[in-house]
């Protein structure tokens, strides 16, 4: 039977993941677009200067999400690390390469050196959303969990809807592409807000094109989810919180488009953040209490009930978790305040 503590920690895990997507999402998106919106070294330094104060702090939310799973749902963390071992290593590599490319590109005043690290930064920023989006697709659709709570999947599988399940198959590639385009749109709106000149102008145009692609891929992914995981929409109809979250992401999508066209840069960026946050929250509300779904036997799923730590551990952690959360939120607020305003080419 699901307890209040288990529900609270499920919500905290979902919240940490959603905040990570919103916060680290804009610098992933900016990195995926920077070769398009920045055409010379000065403009690329401007893009890096826009995300430079934030990107490493944003990764704290990923650590926070892992910390919640380690503390509250160790079976989920263990099964996920084992089953997704190769893609997790790939995610770690692209995160490392992103950081290394930002830090090293300006160590030498050499065009070839900087172009190499610019390309590395673009590649890492593009692959990370695809891999993370595919992981979410696997969790929504379900994985072949055994009775003892473990699973394994090939990295690549058939792209046909009736083919073998894989970490990257037709459905998870679709969710990965949706993640990439949604975060690229989010990153473009961040650059619109934080930059000026040609970079801002190109970012406005890129955001306009990406907005339409986001809508198209979201509709396509919604139809695909209805086919592979119909239970998600059964839950949507019966859960008021899921409806509230759905209204949040729909409102965010509309606001981001309208505000961009009217030149309200910050509001457009916040609308995009609300879209991402609401979409993640609605997904969590629909799959609750399932954390790793099992196919074809849904009874083997790992949930907030059968995969949680002891009640004593969950209760004790609630004493210190809010303190850590307040520190993280305070840090984010301080960094944004210290680095408010438009960015010109920095020292990156």
Rounded to an integer, the average pLDDT of 240-268 is: 96
Number of Cβ atoms within 10 Å of the Cβ of 22: 21
For the stretch 107-163, pLDDT in tens is 888 889 999 999 999 999 999 999 999 999 999 999 999 988 888 888 887 777 777
Buried b (16+ CB within 10 A) or exposed e, 225-238: beebbeebeebbee
DSSP state for residue 299 in the 8-state scheme: G
Total tally of structural domains belonging to the chain? 1
Q: Measured in whole angstroms, how far is the alpha carbon of residue 137 from the centre of its chain?
A: 12
CB 312 within 8 A of CB 3: no
DSSP string for 56-114: HHHTHHHHHHHHHHHHH-HHHHHHHHHHTHHHHHHHHHHHHHHHHHHHHTTSS--HHHH
Q: What is the pLDDT of residue 45?
A: 93
Cα angle 130, 132, 137; round to 5: 90
Q: What is the pLDDT of residue 244?
A: 96
Residue 239: inside a domain? no
Residue 259: inside a domain? no
Residue 158: inside a domain? yes
Rounded to an integer, the average pLDDT of 169-183 is: 96
Q: What is the pLDDT of residue 159?
A: 79
Number of Cβ atoms within 10 Å of the Cβ of 151: 21
- pLDDT level of residue 237 (50, 70, 90 thresholds): confident
Would the pLDDT of 219 be above 70?
yes
For the stretch 84-121, pLDDT in tens is 999 999 999 999 999 999 989 988 888 899 999 999 99
Confidence (pTM): 0.95
d(CA 329, CA 326): 5
By residue range, what is the domain housing residue 196? 24-229+288-318
Residue 332: half-sphere exposure toward Cβ, Cα within 13 Å: 15
Residue 121: inside a domain? yes
Which residues is 156 bridged to in the sheet? 168
Residue 271: inside a domain? no
Residue 12: inside a domain? no
Residue 18: inside a domain? no
Residue 311: inside a domain? yes
Q: What is the pLDDT of residue 319?
A: 87
């Amino acid at each position: 039977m699901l307890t209040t503590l288990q529900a609270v920690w499920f919500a905290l895990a979902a919240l940490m993941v959603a905040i990570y997507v919103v916060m680290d999402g804009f610098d992933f998106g900016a990195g995926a677009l920077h070769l398009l919106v920045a055409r010379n070294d000065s403009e690329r330094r401007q893009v890096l200067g826009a995300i430079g104060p934030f990107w490493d702090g944003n990764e704290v939310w990923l650590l926070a999400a892992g910390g919640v799973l380690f503390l509250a749902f160790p079976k989920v963390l263990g099964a996920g690390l084992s089953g997704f071992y190769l893609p997790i290593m790939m995610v770690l590599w692209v995160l490392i390469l992103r950081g290394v490319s930002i830090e090293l590109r300006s160590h030498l005043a050499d065009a070839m050196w900087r172009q190499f690290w610019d390309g590395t930064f673009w590649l890492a920023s593009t692959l990370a959303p695809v891999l993370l989006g595919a992981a979410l697709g696997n969790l929504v659709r379900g994985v072949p969990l055994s009775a003892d709570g473990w699973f394994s999947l090939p990295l690549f599988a058939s792209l046909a809807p009736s083919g073998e399940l894989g970490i990257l198959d037709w459905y998870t590639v679709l969710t990965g592409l949706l993640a990439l385009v949604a975060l690229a749109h989010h990153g473009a709106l961040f650059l619109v807000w934080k930059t000026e000149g040609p970079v801002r102008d190109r970012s406005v145009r890129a955001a306009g094109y990406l907005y339409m692609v986001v809508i198209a891929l979201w509709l396509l992914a919604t139809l695909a989810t209805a086919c592979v995981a119909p239970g998600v929409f059964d839950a949507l109809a019966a859960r008021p919180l899921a409806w509230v979250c759905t209204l949040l992401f729909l409102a965010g999508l509309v606001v981001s488009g309208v505000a961009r066209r009217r030149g309200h840069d910050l509001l457009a960026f916040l609308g995009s953040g609300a879209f991402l946050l609401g979409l993640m929250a609605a997904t969590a509300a629909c799959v609750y209490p399932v954390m790793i779904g099992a196919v074809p036997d849904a009874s083997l799923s790992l949930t907030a009930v059968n995969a949680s730590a002891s009640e004593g551990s969950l209760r004790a952690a609630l004493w210190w978790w809010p303190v850590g959360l307040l520190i993280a939120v305070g840090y984010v607020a301080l960094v944004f305040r210290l680095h408010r305003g438009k960015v010109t080419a920095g020292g990156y």
